[in-house]
Structure 1
Amino acid sequence: MTAQTAETRAVEAANQAFYDAVETSDLDALENIVLTGPLAESVSVVHPGWPVLRGRGEVMRSYALIMASTDYIQFFLTDVEVAVDGDTALVTCTENILTGGPAEDDGSAGSLVGGLVVATNVFRRTSAGWRLWVHHGSPVLAEQEEGDEGEDGPEEPAL
């Protein structure tokens, strides 16, 4: 295994640990994944539809709020691409998200809703391993059907 392959796998594992922590509402696990130290105030997140949040404290509060108000969330990651350069790694992916409300009175699953978000995650290498520095998620508002391109190229999604 080459060093690049080992680093790529380590970044992929850190990326998956981030999504696992959010899925399981494990704030302690998320605390271990998000960057600390001298760059903690430069940590940032853009949740779909939210403004930019800056600083580790603000970012962690946002995840605590999301976890407290989300009964069920599951991520199926596709189109994952990893690039490593020195102590920084970039991950792009599509988050295929399934969320749901509380369970019904009879114990059956509540209503489920699916959505697509394209995400960019930036990781920083630390002495403790790869840590999340930046997360930016943007909702996919429209899917491009084959043959929908006009003479001037693809149509813009409706807002």
Structure 2
Amino acid sequence: MSTTAAEIEKLNEAFYTAIEGGDLDRMTEVWADDEPGRVAMCVHPGWPMLTGRAEVLRSWALIMANTPYIQFVLTDVHTTVIGDVAVLTCAENILTAADTDDATFAAGRVVATNTFVRTPTGWRLWFHHGSPVLQGESDDDEEAEE
């Protein structure tokens, strides 16, 4: 793995650590500033496109304030760097507190594309897109379809 790909994967880990820790300051450091012709964008599963750094960070603040517990285990991580842009795809295997009164957890899976851009202050997250994976499909079913 190249040094740049390793750097992108480290920043990607910082992004998920910020979510898990409810750390909006760290989340703010991860995201790129808006510039003419390039604004931060985010698509949370089931949400409309969010455009602009302020709107994106507000969404993360809302999610963090309303999520008592969340943990990500990333799998299938693939990183491609071309010039000043890097694209990282992964599967987010998520464990979170369930919406019940008892102490239960819910699990889910989201496939994500995180696009990073090189800025004068280093690599920053430019675009995050998460798409839910339908539950109940086994690996055997997926292999049979191929």
For normalisation by structure 2, the TM-score amounts to: 0.89
Counterpart position of 2:128 = 135
Q: 1:42: how far off?
A: 1.6
1:123 maps to a residue whose letter is F
In the alignment, structure 2 segments of 5+ residues that lack a partner are none
Aligned equivalent of 1:43: 40
Give the direction of change, closer, same or farther, for the CA distance of 1:147–1:114 in structure 2 (3 Å limit). closer
Alpha-carbon distance in 2 for matches of 1:82, 1:96: 18
- Which residue, 97, 100, 110 being the options, matches 1:100? 97
Q: How does 1:54-69 map to 2 (within 5 A)?
A: 54-69=51-66
Following TM superposition, by how much is the alpha carbon of 1:148 offset from its aligned partner in structure 2, in angstroms? 6.3
> What does 1:74-153 correspond to in 2, within 5 Å?
74-101=71-98, 110-142=103-135, 143-146=137-140, 153=145
Instruction: Tell me by how many angstroms 1:145 deviates.
Output: 4.0
Give the CA deviation at 1:146: 1.8
TM-score (norm 1): 0.82
Please state how far the C-alpha of 1:37 moved relative to its aligned partner: 4.5
Query: Are residues 148 and 16 of structure 1, via their aligned partners in 2, closer, same or farther at CA, if it must alter by over 3 Å?
Result: closer
Identical pairs, percent: 49
The count of corresponding residues between Structure 1 and Structure 2 is 144
Task: Quote the offset at 1:127 in angstroms.
Answer: 2.0
Secondary structure of residue in 1 paired with 2:8: helix
Alpha-carbon distance in structure 2 between the residues aligned to 1:19 and 1:55: 20
Tell me, yes or no, if the aligned pair for 2:89 and 2:112 is still in contact at 8 Å: yes
Distance 2:120 2:110 in 1: 31
Give the AA of the match of 2:11. Answer: A
Q: Name which one, 1 or 2, has greater alpha-carbon Rg.
A: 1
Q: CA RMSD in A?
A: 2.2
In 1, distance between residues paired with 2:132 and 2:142? Answer: 20
Determine the C-alpha separation between the residues in 1 that align with 2:79 and 2:19.
20
